[in-house]
A and B are shown apart, each in its own frame.
Chain A
């Protein structure tokens, strides 16, 4: 009965869970900038959730250090379906300037499925917003695929 409404809601209220996997803090600050009054991601329904169980979109920043790899995989496994994974910055995609380090395991695609990747060092808040919005639309498609 409410199938259509639930599908529509899936893209209207994406809650974010942010994982820092060894980031330099630059991308984390830019993510927080998206929530400030200047960009106000809440107008699309985005909200930072404290627990992975509440999240729809998992935001990963950082080049995935050896220490954080298992924790990253475990945390993402705790997020209920439908879920999306967004990476912020060049680090999770390629390792960026940390590439070749003995303790860096980028790219993150080797361990988890990535839906949207926002490149840049650091990406601008506008780019992050676009990436998150794209992920919200993907969430709706995933939700529709769930009851097919």
Chain B
């Protein structure tokens, strides 16, 4: 019974199926709103779902120079790690899985999602993929530092000198003391996390690794059919996970009592966060160069996160 419940958690509710559906829904909202911002009608909200199923029905070509096992295994490894991350993110009152160091586990599993892209791209043997993965690595290095600082400041704020890395503890703290976004020492950290989300998901100003018009989607260039569909799904799932992480770290504390209501409010809040940090920034900016991206994250965003950390450490 316990195993069955665990499987349901991994495969359906907050795991793979839920994350994938919400992610595709958020990606659809993103495309629709951007179209409206550009005075277009835009694709229907279920367009990413059509894209995914179309790619599932296409022929999957493995290039002659590629290592077949790594080439096809990378998107699946990314999918599994991202499905597991969602187990650790509480949906307001509901947590599927909670330990003492959830934040660290989330950090590592999110990295696996990015590493899958790098490994898959490098196994394809295309020079465009080579440029793409080198950029992806630099992007990961640039946003990991402020990301860790943000997580540290949240842990310090919630747990005091013992540092709370448990998502459950963070959710309980917010239920008792109100959302962390409304305590002013956490506002710089919240802004920093909002700026990290587009880089993690690979959206417009920070999509140097997958620059479509420049290096033809970089690591994904040789992918086709189902494997490409999995990577597109991974991107959508990352959208759900990152906005969900923001929601539970900074906007937690809502308790309706039933899981279904919690999940609906959770998805709605995720959609709002997507509109703020992904869609709006995407619509008003052009792509950065990789060195500018690196500089931006290590100065502005890290600075914001560090400011929050110092404020929290001083006990504010």
Please list the 3 inter-chain residue pairs (A to B) with the smallest Cβ-Cβ separation, ordered nearest first: A50-B216, A6-B57, A80-B59
User: Are B53 and A81 neighbours in the complex by a CB distance under 8 Å?
Assistant: no
User: Are B53 and A53 neighbours in the complex by a CB distance under 8 Å?
Assistant: no
A65→B36 CA distance, assembly (Å)? 41
Residues of A within 8 A of B51 (CB): 9, 13, 45
Binds B, one of A35-43, A93-101, A104-112, A122-130: A35-43
Q: Say which size band chain B's interface belongs to.
A: 20 to 34
Q: Mark A53-90, 1 if CB is under 8 A from B, else 0.
A: 11010000000000000000000001011100000000
Looking at B43, B47, B51, B58, which has the most chain A CB atoms within 10 Å of its CB?
Answer: B58
User: Are B56 and A6 neighbours in the complex by a CB distance under 8 Å?
Assistant: yes
User: Are B42 and A13 neighbours in the complex by a CB distance under 8 Å?
Assistant: no
Closest A residue to B217 using CB positions:
A50
Quick check: is A12 within 8 A (CB to CB) of the other chain? yes
User: Are B221 and A50 neighbours in the complex by a CB distance under 8 Å?
Assistant: yes
Looking at B42, B50, B212, which has the most chain A CB atoms within 10 Å of its CB?
Answer: B50
A-B pair count, CB < 8 Å, reads 86
Residues of A within 8 A of B41 (CB): 40, 43
A6→B57 CA distance, assembly (Å)? 6
The listed residue (A6, A7, A42, A82) touching B40 by CB distance below 8 A is A42
Q: State which residues 57-97 of B face A: CB under 8 Å.
A: 57-61
Shortest Cβ gap from A145 to chain B (Å)? 12
Shortest Cβ gap from A14 to chain B (Å)? 8
Quick check: is B39 within 8 A (CB to CB) of the other chain? yes
Quick check: is B224 within 8 A (CB to CB) of the other chain? yes
Q: Mark A114-135, 1 if CB is under 8 A from B, else 0.
A: 0000000000000000000000
Looking at A80, A82, A143, which has the most chain B CB atoms within 10 Å of its CB?
Answer: A80
A9→B56 CA distance, assembly (Å)? 10
Quick check: is B222 within 8 A (CB to CB) of the other chain? yes
User: Are A2 and B225 neighbours in the complex by a CB distance under 8 Å?
Assistant: no
Residues of B within 8 A of A143 (CB): 57
User: Are B57 and A13 neighbours in the complex by a CB distance under 8 Å?
Assistant: no
Quick check: is B228 within 8 A (CB to CB) of the other chain? yes
Quick check: is B2 within 8 A (CB to CB) of the other chain? no
User: Are B54 and A42 neighbours in the complex by a CB distance under 8 Å?
Assistant: no
Quick check: is A31 within 8 A (CB to CB) of the other chain? no
A37→B35 CA distance, assembly (Å)? 8
A51→B213 CA distance, assembly (Å)? 10
